[in-house]
Amino acid sequence: MSATGGPARAALIEARDVAISFGRTPALRGANVSAAAGEIVAVMGPSGSGKSTLLHCLAGILAPSSGEVHFDNRRIDTLSEAKRSTLRRDNFGFVFQFGQLVPELTAEENIALPLLLAGARRTQALTQAQEWLRRLDLDGLQERRSGELSGGQAQRVALARALAAGPKVLFADEPTGALDSLTGENVMRQLVTAARREGTTVVLVTHDSRVAAYADRQVIVRDGKATSLSSGRAAS
């Protein structure tokens, strides 16, 4: 059975006994975590527990020293860096704590950027960007650059950029960490609503239990190992 009480769903993305060290310091010691298609999983743990490292292994940014990472029935940790880069471009979206928008580009251009990099025509990419601005209540902000946006607006632009290309998995690393609690909750509601609509799997790293409550399931990382908890989603 799944954490939500229904039949267990097959994993879309999964880490199996993943271990990795930085120098002589172990970051993960045989961690296991999985997320099914359309599932939202919150990865929690104290600072330095390895939760961001686990996300980076799942996303193919880091290759573990042992263990396996699988995505869509394919092992990815043994792929070359070039192939992992292509995998990330075609299948994954990313939202980080500070958004990491390109400051020289407008909000509309930031959202269109991954579409352009994937080969879309500029007119098509900008049309999709405008649609995502509308979906995330950012109408009228398309010409603003990151320095002209509030923290919450910039983070929603980053979310739109991550989702515009239709990723199968969205990785979010402390997406509300730089926001006040009210703005952070608004961003999380937008993230969950958009992910549900698109059927996107979300792997969310957070230290905030209020943010984790938006997930279907919580995974606790401690001392380099991961423990899955039952569902406790408070909002959708």
Q: Could you tell me the CA-to-CA distances from 74 to 3, 7, 15, 77, 156 in Å, in that order?
A: 24, 23, 12, 9, 31
- Kindly report the average pLDDT of the chain as a whole number: 90
User: Residue 92 has what pLDDT?
Assistant: 96
- Domain 11-104+167-229 sits in CATH 3.40.50.300: yes
Res. 34 pLDDT band, cuts 50 70 90: very high
pLDDT exceeding 70 applies to what percent of the chain?
93
User: Residue 234 has what pLDDT?
Assistant: 44
Res. 217 pLDDT band, cuts 50 70 90: very high
User: Residue 178 has what pLDDT?
Assistant: 86
Residues 130-154, mean pLDDT to the nearest whole number? 92
Residues 142-147, mean pLDDT to the nearest whole number? 94
Q: Is 18 helix (H, G, I), strand (E, B) or coil?
A: strand
Residues 6-34, mean pLDDT to the nearest whole number? 89
User: Residue 105 has what pLDDT?
Assistant: 96
